[in-house]
A and B are shown apart, each in its own frame.
Chain A
Amino acid sequence: MRNPSATRLLLVSSALLGLAGCRTPAEDRTVVPAPAGFAGFPTPAHAGEVWARAAFVTNHARLLGADLTREGILPVRLTVGRRGSAEGAPRVVAEAIDPHLYLQDGTVLEWVPAGEVARGGRARERVAELALPLTLLAPWDSAPSGFLFFRIPASVRVRDLHALSSAGGRHRELRLSRSLLAFAVLTDEGTRRIHVGLTEERLPER
């Protein structure tokens, strides 16, 4: 009996290879599947009283007005809040946040300010509206969410929930949900760095 997830994986890998304009694995590069035994990083996660949850919204075009992965941008929805007291006034500020996204093989995706994402029209407005708010952290139960944006490097192709990373003599098939987000919040005592795993989200169809 055919395994539907294996079939799907094969289709996605083929599509990614097609996008990458690569030769097939039978030629000079092998495709290394994502490691089966790696469950990814915890989400939500916390550092002290600061909690965070990060998600890749597969159909984010419904919110942002465009599929940004086609423009070389990976949007990540981040929820960040605090549990316990507000001692130290933890807050998200542009000077400290310094976010990075690490794909499963460690490939670094650099942060792109919202103002540099989506060149025009409705998407530009939506990106500005839905970017991560700069604010004092709210209690975790009512913490707001917002998007951070990361530039997809030329060596990486993204399709649906997968990425294909190419280096040296091989391609690596990666799961986006095994990625790691790092960022920092500012407190009265200094910056606090937080690592949180990425999860997958799909908005309900209308």
Chain B
Amino acid sequence: MFLLPAPPRAALASAVLVVLAGGCAAPAPGGAAAFPLAEGLLLLESGDPAAAGALLERDPLPAGALARFHAEALAARVHAVASLGAAFRTEITTAGGRGGPLGGPPSEAATRPSPTSHLVALLYHAAQARAQTAAAAADQQAGGDAILPAALAALEVEEIDAELELLSAVAYARLGFRAEVDSFVARSPALVDLEGFPAALDRRRVPAALRPWVGEMVSHHLRSRDEVAAYRFGVLAIEGAERFGHALPPEVVAEIERWIVAESRYLFVCPESQTPFLPGARRSPKSGIPHLEYVPVERPRGGGR
């Protein structure tokens, strides 16, 4: 998903055993070679962000700027993945449960996964990494990447910095902080180009399950600027969410659909059958033309807005 092809199961198991065997040892010294970057990457790529997160927390951070940059960037990716249905941090919910007013005793409490904790942690680690981008880039120029795992040494620091900026923007979007998201999209012209959108996400190695969120935040940003483009990114987000296993919460999908149906200044209709956009459907029931190819027409008076 991120950087490496899926490793063979036996090789992965060996790597994990090596890592676990080292778990009882004293903390590693601060060198990049000693910090378990490669092992953490393997665990994350194998779909175990919890083990990767625990491993990356185990030792002191490495000393060099480049290795430290990669350690924090990898931790940010771990929390990005964990926030999408693989949360290993938990919190106690009291919804529906405290017995009386805020002073009353708890009558029900349950532990649940905490994606919010992971989103906050993502922002923390991304900020830690990005604070060292300049020093890490200089380190890389000077050949400091020789001690990194091959998969990381091949990456440009600036590319990872752009990836982290995008992951952070998605975290802000998921927390509902639109101003931060708008300011990010406004300075990312590559993201608002529909044709170049997939390539822009590939360059930033955005995990598949996060891509609908990027579509959603671009769509939302464009509503006040280019409603036709906002429609298309909205449709991309909805379809992507379905393809990647409901990556957007139902209320977010409903909000996009509500904007399309009731709040845009246009009606979006099938170019052949003139059937309007239909929430929940993916194409015209008459012509079979997908929603993405619908065209805008002026909304009749009294027809919304």
A28 touches B27 (CB 8 A): yes
Overall SS of chain A's interface:
mixed
> Taking A115-B104, A128-B103 as contacts, is the C-beta distance between A194 and B176 under 8 angstroms?
yes
- Is B79 among interface residues, defined by CB-CB distance under 8 A? yes
> Taking A115-B105, A131-B102, A167-B57 as contacts, is the C-beta distance between A95 and B96 under 8 angstroms?
yes
User: Nearest CB to that of B83 among chain A residues?
Assistant: A106
User: Nearest CB to that of B129 among chain A residues?
Assistant: A35
User: Nearest CB to that of A127 among chain B residues?
Assistant: B103
Nearest CB of A to B267, in Å = 25
Nearest CB of A to B173, in Å = 11
A113 touches B104 (CB 8 A): yes
A35 touches B127 (CB 8 A): yes
- Is B180 among interface residues, defined by CB-CB distance under 8 A? yes
* Chain B neighbourhood of A110, CB < 8 A: 91-92
Interchain pairs with CB closer than 8 A, number? 121
In angstroms, Cα B102 to Cα A116, docked, is 10
> Taking A113-B98, A169-B57, A169-B59 as contacts, is the C-beta distance between A105 and B124 under 8 angstroms?
yes
- Is B77 among interface residues, defined by CB-CB distance under 8 A? no
* Chain A neighbourhood of B91, CB < 8 A: 100, 108, 110
A168 touches B95 (CB 8 A): no
User: Nearest CB to that of B106 among chain A residues?
Assistant: A113
- Is B179 among interface residues, defined by CB-CB distance under 8 A? yes
Interface residues of B, count at CB 8 A? 47
In angstroms, Cα B124 to Cα A105, docked, is 6
A94 touches B98 (CB 8 A): yes
The stretch that binds B, out of A40-48, A53-61, A68-76, A81-89, is: A40-48
B60 touches A29 (CB 8 A): yes
Nearest CB of A to B88, in Å = 11
| Beyond A35-B124, A111-B94, A113-B98, 13 additional pairs, beta carbon < 8 A | A30-B30, A38-B124, A41-B177, A94-B99, A94-B101, A96-B96, A100-B116, A106-B118, A108-B91, A134-B101, A169-B57, A169-B59, A180-B175
